[in-house]
Amino acid sequence: MVNVPKTRRTYCKKCKKHQPHKVTQYKKGKDSLYAQGKRRYDRKQSGYGGQTKPIFRKKAKTTKKIVLRLECVEPNCRSKRMLAIKRCKHFELGGDKKRKVRIVSVHIWGKNIQFVITY
């Protein structure tokens, strides 16, 4: 599981220095109905004759590469760029950080005392 903070200080090409960036997950835009390939496909599909083009069914990958969309928070800049990270099944943006918990038990004068240490 990958947990990424919602803000990140990284280099901005427009400002030419490190700036805080707002991090969001990239999402694919809606397909246009008027793209040449879509118009050609719809024209070929219309009428009788069933499915005319092959439908791909041999998917090899189970995950997608995560793409982060970084937006500079500088009011005059607001430049955006994409940053691809590795594949993962579970992706979380700005979730709680994992805490390490350690229990220490001390034996003093016949009594067992336990401390819980988080870091």
Q: For 61-70, how does the pLDDT look when each residue is reduced to its tens digit (9 = 90+)? A: 999 999 999 9
Tell me what pLDDT residue 108 has.
81
Its pTM stands at 0.74
CA distances from 26 to 23, 65, 96 (A): 9, 11, 21
pLDDT reading at 101 higher than 90: no
Structural domain range at position 30: 2-52+62-117
Residues 23-79: tens digit of each pLDDT: 999 999 999 999 999 999 999 999 999 999 999 999 999 999 999 999 999 999 999
Classify residue 57: in a domain, yes or no.
no
Classify residue 109: in a domain, yes or no.
yes
Classify residue 20: in a domain, yes or no.
yes
Handedness of CA 74, 78, 81, 87 (dihedral sign): positive
Q: What is the CATH number of the domain that holds 84?
A: 3.10.450.80
Number of domains in the chain: 1
Which residues sit opposite 106 in a β-bridge?
A: 113
Strands (E), the chain: 2-4, 7-12, 17-25, 65-72, 80-87, 91-93, 101-108, 111-118
